[in-house]
Structure formats: C-alpha cells, structure tokens
Amino acid sequence: MIMKITKIEVQKNNPHRYSLYVDDAFFLGISEDTLLHFNFFENKEVDKAILDEISQIEDYNSNMNKAIKYASRAMKTETELFRYMRDKNIPKEQQSKIIDYLKEHSFIDDYRYTEMFVEEKLKNNKFGQNKIKYLLIQKGVPSDIINTYLKEIPDDIAYDNCLELAENKYNSLRGQDKNKVYQKLFRYLSSRGFNYSEVKSAVDKVMGDE
C-alpha cells in the first residue's frame, strides 16, 4: 500500500525530532537520524510497510530512552528496570533487548549495585546483615549475589554497629524497668537486622551483665 508524506515539521520541544504527517494526518514523531536515513521529504510516496517498520523502530528507541533516563537518576537493579518497563507497558519483546543494552553499557550492574548498597547500609544506616539481605531481596537481587557480598562483611563491623545502636538506645531508656529495657533493646536491635548472638552480646554489655 502506497502512502504519501504530506507534511514534516520540527517539534516545538525538541528541534532534533520531527512530526511526520501521512495522507494529511499525523503519523508519528521521528528522530532527525531517521528522517535523514530514509530520505523523507514532503510529497514523497512510501510503502506502508516501511512506515510500520519505522513506527516500531521509533517506539523501541523511545522506550530505550525512557529506561536509560530512569536508570540514570540513581542506581537500579535489573529487576527494578523490569518492573519499571512493565509499569510503563513496554512490550515484553523489547524488554530483554533493552536490559541487555543497559547491562552492556553499565547503566545497570547488580554486582556493583549490591556492593555499594551493602557499604551504604552498613556505614550510614548501621543495619545488620538480616535487614540488608531483606532489602536486597525486595529489590530483586539474586540470592547468590547477595550472599557473596554479605559474606565479606567483617564480624567486628557488624557487631560494632550493633553495640553502638544498643548504647544509644539504652541511654534513651534509662530509668525504666530493667526487664522492659532488656526486651525493648532486644526487639529494637533485631528489627535493625542483627542476629541473635550479636543482639544478646550487645544488650548484655550495655546493661552490665558481662
């Protein structure tokens, strides 16, 4: 089926994109590169199959740009990108190609993401391993990657964080019933992701039982 390009105009918000009109009706927006590649000009006759192909190309490029923009705001996991594309109704057949491109060009890297995430949560949030693991699972990081980096956490760093939090919390609970303080400290530190032995040791130390 032969159709005619009846109008080409520069888009107001982007001088490198053009609105393409076919048979006196708006067809789609195309990039400057696409316009030049296909040598489009007004009154040119083109086959509908070519226009459909271009439509698919432009749709893919648009979705790729959305994914790149999303991944560039802050580090994201591969799963978070898939969730984003699903929410944006990006076709499934495009999703894997987009992910492969983002991984190849280092927009996403679950290993690097996990390494930085663990370091941040230990240093700034002082979370224990259990909570860090839970948060990474929520973000869709594979368990083998999570375990690799959690194993690298020195025991003294995890315990020092636990003890520091225990001391700060204990100071805010001074004067209360000793048993209640013990229970509150235990619940608080457990909620921060520390394991039983770390919590018990820290609580016993700040309460003078060691």
pTM of structure: 0.81
pLDDT digits (tens, 9 = 90+) for 21-54: 999 999 999 988 888 988 999 999 999 899 998 9
pLDDT class for 210, splitting at 50, 70, 90?
Answer: very low
Tokens of 210: 């060691």
Q: Is the pLDDT confidence value at 176 over 70?
A: yes
Which pLDDT score is estimated for 13? 87
pLDDT band at 155 (very low <50, low <70, confident <90, very high): confident
Question: Which pLDDT score, from 0 to 100, does residue 174 have?
Answer: 85
Q: How many CB atoms lie within 10 A of CB 49?
A: 9
- The whole-number average pLDDT for the span 72-82 is 95
Q: Which two tokens stand for residue 56?
A: 């698919």
What are the distances in angstroms from CA 36 to CA 3, 40, 44, 48? Answer: 19, 7, 13, 18
Q: What is the mean pLDDT of the chain?
A: 93
